[in-house]
Amino acid sequence: MHRSASERAEDYLRAAYEIIQRKGYARTNDISKELDVQQPTVVEMMKKLHNKGLVVYEKYGDVSLTPRGRDIAEAVKKRYHTFEKLLKLILVPENIASKDAHLLEHSLHPRTILQFQRFVAFITPTSATDRTESVVTWMEQFEKYCEKEKKRHAMVKR
């Protein structure tokens, strides 16, 4: 699988992107908090990303993304949200879906990711009224199946 940035670099770009979206700017301490890493680690990565032309970073200044850095961050964010949405669709608890989406966003072939994106877009139309009756029925049947399996496994454990 070919990526233009390492997984770690993608995480930093996405964090900076999301902070900028929320606050209008990002600083290394913001990124440090977002990723739960030490500030010197963030500074080191920002220098690397600056040298690769993905961020604009000056010591003690704001961090901004170059157009290429923004494109990568947006792609990473889109991959993450695709997997998070898919996992929630199949009734994975939200806290687990969030963690697992992060793992999946980095580990699959781009063609596989594209197909997941298409599937999630197909199964989750923009509004509830856009859902076809068959999708609604399928989701309801899946929820019932999961409940039945949950009860069956509870009975087996007794």
DSSP per residue over the chain, as a string? ---SS-HHHHHHHHHHHHHHHHHS-B-HHHHHHHHT--HHHHHHHHHHHHHTTSEEE-TTS-EEE-HHHHHHHHHHHHHHHHHHHHHHHTT--HHHHHHHHHHHHHHS-HHHHHHHHHHHHHHS-SSGGGS-HHHHHHHHHHHHHHHHHHHHHHHHH-
pTM of the model: 0.80
Give the pLDDT of residue 158. Answer: 66
pLDDT tens profile 57-86: 988 889 999 999 999 999 999 999 999 999
